Structure 1
Amino acid sequence: MAMGGGEGGGALLSELYKSAQKLLIRTKDGLSKLESIEFSTGASSSSSSSSSSSMAVEPLDLSTALRRDLGQIQSFCSEMDRLWRSIPSPSQRGLWKRKVEQVAEEADSLRRSLDRHVLRHQSRIQEAKDRKNLLERRNGDSAHVLRIFDEEAQAMESAQNSSRMLEEAYATGVAVLSKYSEQRDRIKRAQRKALDVLNTVGLSNSLLKLIERRHRTDKWIAYGGMISVTVIVYMFWRWIN
């Protein structure tokens, strides 16, 4: 009975060992594929973050499948560790002990490699997110700079408009003063003619003095008008600046 149990345990042990070996081979192939994807992704790291996100789907699914296979291998190792202890032959027991330990060591090594790959993959995803955020901030800063330039352009345009208004006001003041000067000259000529006429008809000195006072009044009115226009133009210029 003991011999039959040992032979049955050996058959099951051999079957589990073959299954574990197949899973180890599949896991190694999967890790090789992950490394190839990692290198190709690293070579194209200067591409946009959106394409990196789309390429991240397949490695994630593959790493999940590999971790599931490694869990199955660990389960096989636990069962094989129980079975080899029940083999009656010491030499066979030692042989299966080494085989099971070898499978367990390979599985641990593959798990560590997978963990390193997952960490690198997560680091690349975080770097892609950081680059995206940096580009968005740069775009936001560019928009802020453009807005500042636009405000400066508007301020310059407003200053140009104010300068143009000041020039127009100055030209208007010059034209008004010129009109006053022309009117003053015409008044002087009219006054001289009137004096000549009055002298001719022999009007009294009081009337002549009255005309002279009126002339002085008109002259002060003309001067006052010129000064007022000058003051208005100066105050408008000070208000603009």
Structure 2
Amino acid sequence: MDFAGGGGGGGGGASLSEMYQSARRLLLSARDGVARVERLASAPTSSSYSSSAPLVGGGGAGDPAAAEEIQGLCAQMDRLWRSIPAKGQRDLWKRKVEQLSEEVESLKETLDKHSFRQRKRILEAKERAELFERANGESSHVLQIFDDEAQARQSARTSARALDEAYETGVAILQKYSDQRDRLKSAQRKALDVLNTVGLSNSVLKLIERRHRVDKKIAYGGMILTVVLMVAFWRLTH
């Protein structure tokens, strides 16, 4: 199907055929490169595929620049087929060049899609790395929170021990007050017995009873004050 017309057209036909074959080889090579990329992307181990790798390695025919080279050849062939004198050959080369141009356009669209996916993978990889770094920072923050909580629990246990000691001290003080009250009652009874024996007046006895009531109020007041102080100390420590 090569153009073999006479005169100057024959030389043009041979050049056109060579450029067409070269363009077809580049196109097939580019398609093979795209197919390899698609197999890598759809393979089960595609997660290990490097998102920073080129679309088709080595800048070969699968590189987007190859499509531009084929388009340049198509532009040259478009000028050449117009100079073919024979209408049948001219129409044939027109269809072949147009078909090749359409295939190159389709290839460019595929390459653009793969390029977009590659950029998207790179962006996702960067976002994952940033999230991982951020997660590590947040883990350190969580560990710090746990340390703070442990220190707070230790402080609470220390305060609880101090409160228990204060409670035991208060109980001991109240016990002493109770013992003193019992001794006072015993002394009062003895005093009353003595006074009754010596025949003191009722007014003296009433005075002693009022004194006893005052002493009792003082004792109860001391116990209440001790309890209030213990409750206030417990609230301050918590």
**TM-score of the pair, normalised by structure 2:** 0.70
Asked if the contact 2:37/2:55 (under 8 Å) is kept, the reply is no
Q: Which has the higher contact order (CA 8 A, sep 6+)?
A: 1
Distance between the aligned counterparts of 1:44 and 1:128, measured in 2? 16
Structure 1 vs Structure 2 CA RMSD? 4.3
Residue 56 of structure 1 pairs with residue 51 of structure 2 = yes
Whichever structure has more helix as a proportion of its residues is 1
Find 1:176's aligned residue among 173, 177, 182.
Answer: 173
Distance between the aligned counterparts of 1:81 and 1:21, measured in 2? 15
Q: How many residues align?
A: 226
Asked if the contact 2:71/2:101 (under 8 Å) is kept, the reply is yes
Distance between the aligned counterparts of 1:58 and 1:238, measured in 2? 66
For residues 59-94 of structure 1, the C-alpha deviation after alignment (integer angstroms, 9 at most, x for no partner) is 435496421111110110111111111122222222
The equivalent of 2:17 in structure 1 is 14
Superposition pairs of residues 34-73 of structure 1, within 5 angstroms: 34-40=37-43, 43-44=44-45, 51=48, 55-60=50-55, 62=57, 65=60, 66-73=63-70
The equivalent of 2:229 in structure 1 is 232
Point out where structure 1 has 5 or more consecutive residues left out of the alignment. Answer: 194-211
Asked if the contact 2:19/2:73 (under 8 Å) is kept, the reply is yes
The equivalent of 2:101 in structure 1 is 104
Q: CA deviation at 1:237?
A: 2.5
Distance between the aligned counterparts of 1:82 and 1:175, measured in 2? 116
For residues 34-73 of structure 1, the C-alpha deviation after alignment (integer angstroms, 9 at most, x for no partner) is 1111112xx346x5xxx55xx1233435496421111110
Q: CA deviation at 1:27?
A: 0.7
The equivalent of 1:26 in structure 2 is 29
Residue 122 of structure 1 pairs with residue 119 of structure 2 = yes
Asked if the contact 1:13/1:80 (under 8 Å) is kept, the reply is yes
Point out where structure 2 has 5 or more consecutive residues left out of the alignment. Answer: 191-207
Distance between the aligned counterparts of 1:127 and 1:38, measured in 2? 15
For residues 128-173 of structure 1, the C-alpha deviation after alignment (integer angstroms, 9 at most, x for no partner) is 4444555555666666555555545544443333232212101012
**TM-score of the pair, normalised by structure 1:** 0.69
The equivalent of 2:201 in structure 1 is none
Distance between the aligned counterparts of 2:79 and 2:7, measured in 1? 17
**Percent same amino acid at aligned positions?**
53
Asked if the contact 1:10/1:87 (under 8 Å) is kept, the reply is yes
The equivalent of 1:77 in structure 2 is 74
Distance between the aligned counterparts of 2:79 and 2:26, measured in 1? 20
Find 1:5's aligned residue among 5, 8, 16.
Answer: 8
Superposition pairs of residues 161-172 of structure 1, within 5 angstroms: 161-172=158-169
The equivalent of 1:207 in structure 2 is none
Distance between the aligned counterparts of 2:188 and 2:227, measured in 1? 28
Asked if the contact 2:159/2:237 (under 8 Å) is kept, the reply is yes
Q: CA deviation at 1:106?
A: 1.3
For residues 195-222 of structure 1, the C-alpha deviation after alignment (integer angstroms, 9 at most, x for no partner) is xxxxxxxxxxxxxxxxx9xx97998876
